[in-house]
Amino acid sequence: MAHPYNVLFLCTGNSARSLMAEAILNHKGKGRFTAYSAGSHPTGEPRPEALQQLASAGLPTSGLRSKSWDEFSAPRAPQLDFVFTVCDRAAREQCPYWPGQPMTAHWGVPDPAAIQGAPEEIARAFRDAFTVLDRRIGLFLSLPLATLEDIALQRQIDEIGRS
């Protein structure tokens, strides 16, 4: 694999979890990773609560947008090294063909956008999703990618999704 590694986070709507993961990895992995996010059925707009959560964590939100995964199977798309699904529905869908055969894993996170209730409950759901993604991305960043054989690396990224 070449540096920087290209990572795509997938979800159905690409409005919350995948966008937060994109922002976290682009911040924490700057120079080593370029993160993207997309959805099978993008909502077209980031959830304001996701943007608020990122801003409160001190992460930039400019440029984040809800987009289709079709952008990443197009001829001029970046060659992906890793593709992580962060919602259960996207994990069950038939994904496009990703050129270059990136490593894939499912890192399911409960959907904070599905929470209904008081604003504090909704904010807590977004904070909880952010915390899980942040921890998993931290574990991913600690892997010695250049020295792990593919089968060991696949085992490690699958294990991160279960953490």
- Which pair of structure tokens corresponds to residue 137? 């991305």
- Annotated catalytic residue within 1, 57, 95, 143: 95
User: Is 87 a residue of the active site?
Assistant: yes
User: Is 107 a residue of the active site?
Assistant: no
- Annotated catalytic residue within 7, 8, 11, 132: 11
CA distance 26 to 77: 17
- Annotated catalytic residue within 10, 87, 103, 129: 87
Asked if 131 and 163 count as a contact pair (C-beta separation under 8 A), the reply is no
Phi and psi at residue 53, to the nearest 5° = -65, -45
4 preceded by cis ω (within 30°)?
yes
CA distance 71 to 157: 24
User: Is 75 a residue of the active site?
Assistant: no
114-121 LR contacts (CB < 8 Å, sep 24+): none
Q: Report the 10 Å Cβ neighbour count for 46.
A: 21
Catalytic residues, by residue number, are 11, 87, 95
